[in-house]
Amino acid sequence: MNYDQILKKIDKEIKPFANEGNVSDSIHELALINPSKFGIHLVTTEKMDYSFGDSNEKFSIQSISKVLSLSYAFQFLGENIWSRVGVEPSGNPFNSLAQLEYEKGKPRNPFINAGAIVIADILVSNLKNPKNDFLSFVRNLANCNSIDFNEKVALSEKKVGFRNAALANILKSFGNLKNGVEEVLDFYFYQCSIEMTCKELAQSCYFFANGGNTYSQNQRILTESQIKRLNALMQTCGFYDESGEFAYKVGLPGKSGIGGGIMAIHPQKYCVATWSPRLNLKGNSVMGMKALELLTTETQMSIF
Ligand code: GLU
In 10 A of CB 32, how many CB atoms? 11
Q: What is the CATH number of the domain that holds 154?
A: 3.40.710.10
Q: Which of 33, 69, 95, 190 to mutate to test the pocket of ligand 1 (most atoms within 8 A of CB)?
A: 95
Regarding the beta carbon of 62 and ligand 1, being less than 6 Å apart is answered yes
Say how far apart CA 213 and CA 79 lie, in whole Å. 19
Paired with 271 in beta bridges are: 43, 265
- How many A from CA of 195 to the centre of ligand 1? 13
DSSP state of 212: T
Termini Cα distance of the chain: 18
Tell me what pLDDT residue 25 has. Answer: 87
Q: Within a domain: residue 304? A: no
Q: Within a domain: residue 114? A: yes
Regarding the beta carbon of 164 and ligand 1, being less than 6 Å apart is answered yes
Please report, in tens digits, the pLDDT of each residue of the chain (304 residues total): 899 999 999 999 999 999 999 999 888 999 999 999 999 999 999 999 999 999 999 999 999 999 999 999 999 899 999 999 999 998 887 788 999 999 999 999 999 999 999 999 999 999 999 999 999 999 999 999 999 999 999 999 999 999 999 999 999 999 999 999 999 999 999 999 999 999 999 999 999 999 999 999 889 999 999 999 999 999 999 998 999 999 999 999 999 999 999 999 999 999 999 999 999 999 999 999 999 999 999 999 999 9
- 103 CB-contact burial (10 Å; exposed 0-12 / middle 13-18 / buried 19+): middle
Say how far apart CA 16 and CA 115 lie, in whole Å. 36
Q: Within a domain: residue 183? A: yes
Q: Within a domain: residue 92? A: yes
Q: Which of 64, 157, 188, 282 to mutate to test the pocket of ligand 1 (most atoms within 8 A of CB)?
A: 157
List of E strands, 163-250: 195-196
C-beta of residue 40 within 8 angstroms of C-beta of residue 10: yes
**Residue 183 lies in domain:** 3-299
Regarding the beta carbon of 111 and ligand 1, being less than 6 Å apart is answered no
Say how far apart CA 200 and CA 273 lie, in whole Å. 9
- How many A from CA of 262 to the centre of ligand 1? 13
DSSP state of 285: B
Regarding the beta carbon of 242 and ligand 1, being less than 6 Å apart is answered no
Q: Which residue's alpha carbon is at the smallest distance from atom 4 of ligand 1?
A: 113
Domain count for the chain, please give it. 1
C-beta of residue 285 within 8 angstroms of C-beta of residue 278: yes
Q: Within a domain: residue 126? A: yes
